[in-house]
Amino acid sequence: MNSPFSLQDQVAIVTGGASGIGYEIARRLRDAGATIALVDRDPDVFHQAQTLGDRVSAHRFDLSRVDDLHRLATDIADAHGQIDILINNAGIGILEPVGEVQLSSWNSTMLINLTAPFFLAQHCARFMKMRGGGRIINIASQASVVALDEHAAYCASKAGMLGFTRVLAAELGPHGITANAVSPTVVETALGRVYWNGERAAQMKRKIPVRRFAATEEIAAAVLYLSSKEAGIVNGENLMVDGGYSAI
C-alpha cells in the first residue's frame, strides 16, 4: 500500500469506474486499502476490474435504471458485507447552444448527472447508517459554479448536485456520514479531449491561472482525502480542483 491515507477494511463504490477519472479514483482507493465495487454500463468494466487486481468486483449497470438502484446497492452490500464510501463519478455531457437544447438531451443529462447520483446516495446511506458512518463524494464540475458556453444542461445538473450534496451533509451528518463534492476543471481524459481540443482547448487553458488541464491523478487524490477518516470534519463542501479558474 502506497498512500498517505488508509482505507483498510472499507468498501467503496465507484460509478463510471471503467475509464478516465473513475478508473483512476478506483485505483487510488484500492491502493489505500479499500475494497472496490466498480460500476459502469460499459461491458469493459469486467476487464478493468481485473486489471485492478484483488479486492475489486465488477458491476455492469446502467444508472438510467433509477428504479433498480436499490438493487445495485443491495447486491454490493450483500457481496461485500458493507458499504462505506460512495463515489458518484459517472456523468454525461451533451453540449448544445442554449437555443438548440433538446428536451431529450436535457432529460438525459438530468437523469444521469443528478437524479441517479441522488437516489444511489439515498440507498447507500441506509447501509452506511448500519456501519455508524460513511463518505459520499459527488464528482461535480467547475461548471457547477461558472457558466460555460454550450453547457446549459450540464451546468444545471452539476449545480443541482451541489444543492443535494449540502442537504445530504446536513441530514446525514448526525449519523457520521459526510457528503462533499469535488469540482474539477477540464480533465485530460479520452472523453474530455473529444470536445476540448485544438484552439478551443488552447483558449480554455489561457483562462486557467495554472495554464493547463487537470490530470486524473489529481482528481483521485482529492477524492482519496475526502474518503479518509482525516477528512471527517469536512462536510457539505465543494472542493474546487480547477487551477484557479473559478477564482478570477
Task: State the CATH number of the domain containing residue 181.
Answer: 3.40.50.720
Estimate the crossing angle of helix 216-227 against helix 20-31, to 10 degrees. 50
Q: Residue 87 is part of which domain span?
A: 11-241
| Domain assignment of residue 205, yes or no | yes
Half-sphere exposure of 126 (CA within 13 A, CB side): 11
59 forms bridges with which residues in the sheet?
39
- Which residues have C-beta within 8 Å of that of residue 242, sequence separation ≥ 6? 142, 183, 184, 185, 208, 214
What pLDDT band is residue 20 in, cutting at 50, 70 and 90? very high
- Which residues have C-beta within 8 Å of that of residue 124, sequence separation ≥ 6? 13, 73, 83, 86, 134, 136
Q: Label residue 247 exposed, middle or buried (CB < 10 Å: 0-12, 13-18, 19+).
A: exposed
The total number of structural domains that make up the chain: 1
Between the alpha carbon of residue 135 and those of residues 78, 96, 102, 132, the distances in Å are 19, 34, 35, 11
Single-letter amino acid code for the residue at 145: V
Assign 1 to helix, strand or coil.
coil
Q: What is the pLDDT of residue 1?
A: 54
Cβ pair 134, 128 in contact under 8 A: yes
Compute the C-alpha angle 212/150/220, nearest 5°. 40
| Domain assignment of residue 226, yes or no | yes
- pLDDT tens digits for range 182-219: 999 999 998 888 889 999 999 999 999 999 999 999 99
- pLDDT tens digits for range 107-149: 999 999 999 999 999 999 999 999 999 999 999 999 999 999 9
| Active site positions, annotated | 154
Nearest of 104, 49, 115, 108 to residue 79 by alpha carbon: 49
| Domain assignment of residue 248, yes or no | no
- Which residues have C-beta within 8 Å of that of residue 107, sequence separation ≥ 6? none
CA 196 to chain centre: 20
Cβ pair 86, 135 in contact under 8 A: yes
| Domain assignment of residue 92, yes or no | yes
| Domain assignment of residue 151, yes or no | yes
| Domain assignment of residue 198, yes or no | yes
Q: Is the pLDDT of residue 3 over 80?
A: no
Question: What whole-number distance in Å separates Cα of residue 163 and Cα of residue 101?
Answer: 23
Hey, how many other C-beta atoms are within 10 angstroms of the C-beta on 51?
9
**Once rounded to an integer, what is the mean pLDDT over residues 54-71?**
98
Half-sphere exposure of 135 (CA within 13 A, CB side): 27
Q: What is the pLDDT of residue 85?
A: 99
Q: What is the pLDDT of residue 191?
A: 80
Cβ pair 172, 193 in contact under 8 A: no
| Domain assignment of residue 1, yes or no | no
| Domain assignment of residue 78, yes or no | yes
